[in-house]
Structure 1
């Protein structure tokens, strides 16, 4: 397995991974594909935080971190949103999803990022240090979902971790379509 940032030549392979991972009989094209396509052309896109997992030379895993803002009464603070995370169906359950998520989080720490939010399965994301976002005072359109709305404070490069400023997490417009 090889983990690395997404390259422009990976676009088709990433779309195939997303299509396979999020396939549903009632949807021709999963909205996660459109989300990634729209984010790629936006100011919220951080190329070094779009990670792929290769297995046998084939792109089979994907984890994306993009810019969001935490708006409080005092100011806006930069943060990241994790998602979508996907693994090709024929390569699931062998640790690729965990590996690509950890690679993205590690890259975020190296860049000095401080906070990541995610909407997803608490049992999966707990292993990476995520917990309920409402306990950190973070709200979003998904706050009402309870446990799936999660956040993780990232350690600084020197190892310290400060709690985030409580506030509303503002997602870029493409997220409204998911």
Structure 2
């Protein structure tokens, strides 16, 4: 498996993959809208046997404190390849690249049994004011202590919030 930045030649395969992974096209439309708005902060693909087997997209979050945060959405793995570590590998590489670019923390709205394996925590997200709350709303600090003080986030326009 190879993880690399997504490019225009990958877009059709990504759209098909995301729709297949989620069983409907809404998240694929979100990816297209984030790209169209210039809000694809980091977009990676996992390539296996010459084909896109996984995809992850991070978009910028606006904060009231000036902190640099990103939203993880969506993360998709080809249905026949799920539970093989591709999603975790995509997250780890994304986190590494975001940290190198000065992003301090990542926010995700996702499955509370899956994302904590990559370090995400609902407890850590308690200081973040957003339209979301509860066990599905999680955060990961890329810079230790970056979420200790309360802050308010605003998602990219494509999220419709």
Of 56, 65, 69 in structure 2, the residue corresponding to residue 63 of structure 1 is: 56
Written as runs of structure 1 = structure 2, the 5 A alignment for 1:5-154 is 5-24=5-24, 30-46=25-41, 49-71=42-64, 75-132=65-122, 135-143=125-133, 146-154=134-142
Q: What secondary structure does 1:131 align onto?
A: coil
What TM-score do the two structures reach when normalised by structure 1? Answer: 0.83
Superposed CA RMSD = 1.7
Q: What is the CA deviation profile of residues 62-82 of structure 1, one whole-angstrom value per residue up to 9, with x for unaligned ones?
A: 1111101122xxx44331000
What 5-or-longer segments of structure 2 have no aligned partner? Answer: none
Q: Displacement of 1:102 after TM fit? A: 1.2
Q: Displacement of 1:33 after TM fit? A: 1.1
Change (3 A) 1:9 1:154: same
Change (3 A) 1:62 1:135: closer
For the pair 1:167 / 2:151, whether they are aligned, the reply is yes
Q: Displacement of 1:134 after TM fit? A: 6.2
Q: Displacement of 1:116 after TM fit? A: 0.5
Once superposed, which parts of structure 1, at least 4 consecutive aligned residues long, lie more than 6 Å away? none
Report the number of matched residues: 160
Larger displacement relative to structure 2 (58-67 or 127-136): 127-136
Change (3 A) 1:59 1:134: same
Change (3 A) 1:21 1:33: same
